[in-house]
Amino acid sequence: MNRIILVVFFCISTLSLMSQNISDALNYTNNNIDGSARFSAMGGAFGALGGEISSISLNPAGSAIFNNSYFSLSFASDKKTNDVNLLNAYNTQDKSNLTMNQIGGVFVFNNIGAAKKWKKIVVGLSYDQTNNNFNEFFVKDFTNSNSIDSFFLANAQGLRLDQISAFENESITDAYVDIGNTFGYPHQQAFFGYESFIIEPDSFEDDNTSYTSNVAPGTFNQTYYSISRGYNGKFTANIGAQFSEKLYLGVNLNGHFVDYDNYNILEESNTNGQSGSLRITDINFENRLSGFGGGFSFQLGAIAKLNDWLRLGVTYDSPVWYSIKEETRQFLATRFVDQLDEETTIVLDPNAINVFEEYTIQTPSKITGSLAVIINKLGLISFDYSRKDYSKMEFKTSEGFEVSWTDDLNWEIYNNLTVANSYKIGAEIRANSLSYRAGYRIDESPYRNTDYYSDRKGFSLGIGYKFKSNSIDLSFEKYNKQYKHQLYDAGLTNQASIDNNNTIIKLSISSIM
């Protein structure tokens, strides 16, 4: 028999959000160009260089550097290694996946005639992956003095009993759906806690608003899993032009997409409590968040060729205007021992999807300055600097309004996020048909508190081989960052410390058309 999954539509007026927080907002709006193998091998420092398909996504004037129509396709192997520490329990977890992370081409239309100032017009189309959301980590069998019961208690306190409990003969699914539609997310969590016997009302009157836990105090054995999937990407339509021999201009119109899915599980067991008393011994709590949507942005760029060996570039990235939809699913199972020391298992699986009303995120704009030194035909050195003020990121409803939850979140963003600078440097040495490349980059943390989320630093190496009108490029990248992951938004708020190492190998095939 097919399982029927009910869909719960939440109105903004009743919505207290589990999923909308700074961390997820940054995941949704991550816009780092993954790029081709040549682009990546040089640390992405292409703002003043151009002449590379991925460079167009960085500076739209880069397309005007091409002298011939050009096509590029790239594949990547992306490996994330997470060293996790939670309450002195340690674990290392690897996750790898393969992607087609870049594809694109440009078409060059030369304006023939020596006296003409506009030398050529270039039209480009490209796709670049901007974030690989595949990631996993877990910590097994760590000891905690805090139970997941604190999460359900934190959501339940102050709520009326008749707002968090099922009516007589009402199914778990119907009650979960009705409570979600009428009251919102905290009431659903309190409902889970009450129906699973985790929490107990002080009285069974409808107007009761005070609760205690059936989980006996002591120590708890816990295991926590977090599994993420999905991609962010950018489609770009580009127009570039060369004016005289010194100036290159370009504009991009970009379509962005977000596909993010996170699944987390907490397993808890204990041997606390006394024989002859009601006590919870095991809890399994599962949550799934899916976020998806799209956005629009534009870019303006210029490259000035000051002489045969020096180029300067500048790029303005507009804000990205995203529309995001989110869905959640939940599951809870408990095992309790009653006063007769008999065990009972309760499973709460509503088979319902909570669909939250669409909302918008406006990311901050970005400005990039670039410099490149061309050393005849021997090679080049390039440097990019970018500045982005994350405290200006803004949430609104889909109608463009600011309401209580957006005001609260925007205030949290303003207080916790700050200006982040990015520094990239790259070099290339050419030897006949071979090219050798290296790069280094630092992406500063968007958080004021860098202990919560550190700078991202990394180096890259690469090699390229040209034959006739084609080229094959290979790159190796290694990046590191440290960050904290808070288990839940209330009650059980322990933070896991994660040391994340990201290793990426890319292969690109390019051809002059």
At 50 the pLDDT is 95
368 pLDDT more than 90: yes
- How confident is the model over 422-471, as pLDDT tens digits? 999 999 999 999 999 999 999 999 999 999 999 999 999 999 999 989 99
The whole-number average pLDDT for the span 201-224 is: 96
At 115 the pLDDT is 66
Q: Do the Cβ atoms of 459 and 430 come closer than 8 Å?
A: no
- How confident is the model over 79-130, as pLDDT tens digits? 999 999 999 899 999 999 999 999 999 999 998 666 678 999 999 999 999 9
pLDDT tier, 14 (very low <50, low <70, confident <90, very high otherwise): very low
- How confident is the model over 280-313, as pLDDT tens digits? 999 999 999 999 999 999 999 999 999 999 999 9
At 18 the pLDDT is 46
DSSP 8-class letter at 492: -
User: Residue 461 has which token pair?
Assistant: 């190496």
- How confident is the model over 171-209, as pLDDT tens digits? 999 999 999 999 999 999 999 999 999 999 999 999 999
**CA-atom Rg of the chain in angstroms:** 27
Q: Do the Cβ atoms of 334 and 280 come closer than 8 Å?
A: yes
As a whole-number percent, the residues of the chain with pLDDT over 70 amount to 95
Chain centroid to CA 430: 37
At 475 the pLDDT is 98
User: Residue 445 has which token pair?
Assistant: 């943390």
The whole-number average pLDDT for the span 44-53 is: 96
The rounded distance, in Å, linking the Cα atoms of 56 and 239 is: 10
Q: Could you tell me the domains of the chain?
A: 6-147+215-512 (2.40.160.60)
Q: Do the Cβ atoms of 265 and 284 come closer than 8 Å?
A: yes
The rounded distance, in Å, linking the Cα atoms of 218 and 151 is: 16
pLDDT tier, 34 (very low <50, low <70, confident <90, very high otherwise): confident
408 pLDDT more than 90: no
Closest listed residue to residue 475, CA positions, set 30, 54, 48: 54
At 453 the pLDDT is 95
- What are the two backbone dihedrals, phi and then psi, of residue 64, each rounded to the nearest 5 degrees? -70, -10
- How confident is the model over 235-279, as pLDDT tens digits? 999 999 999 989 999 999 999 999 999 999 999 999 998 888 889
At 290 the pLDDT is 94
The rounded distance, in Å, linking the Cα atoms of 227 and 82 is: 12
Q: Mean pLDDT, the chain, as a whole number?
A: 92
pLDDT tier, 510 (very low <50, low <70, confident <90, very high otherwise): very high
- How confident is the model over 120-145, as pLDDT tens digits? 999 999 999 999 999 999 999 999 99
Sign of the torsion angle spanned by Cα atoms 374, 377, 378, 384: positive
- How confident is the model over 315-339, as pLDDT tens digits? 999 999 999 999 999 999 999 998 8
Q: Do the Cβ atoms of 282 and 332 come closer than 8 Å?
A: no
At 299 the pLDDT is 98
- How confident is the model over 466-489, as pLDDT tens digits? 998 999 999 999 999 999 999 999
Q: Do the Cβ atoms of 164 and 187 come closer than 8 Å?
A: yes
13 pLDDT more than 60: no
At 112 the pLDDT is 67
C-alpha neighbours within 13 Å on the C-beta side of residue 496: 25
Q: E strands, 133-271, where?
A: 135-144, 199-201, 211-213, 220-243, 247-269
User: Residue 165 has which token pair?
Assistant: 């409990």
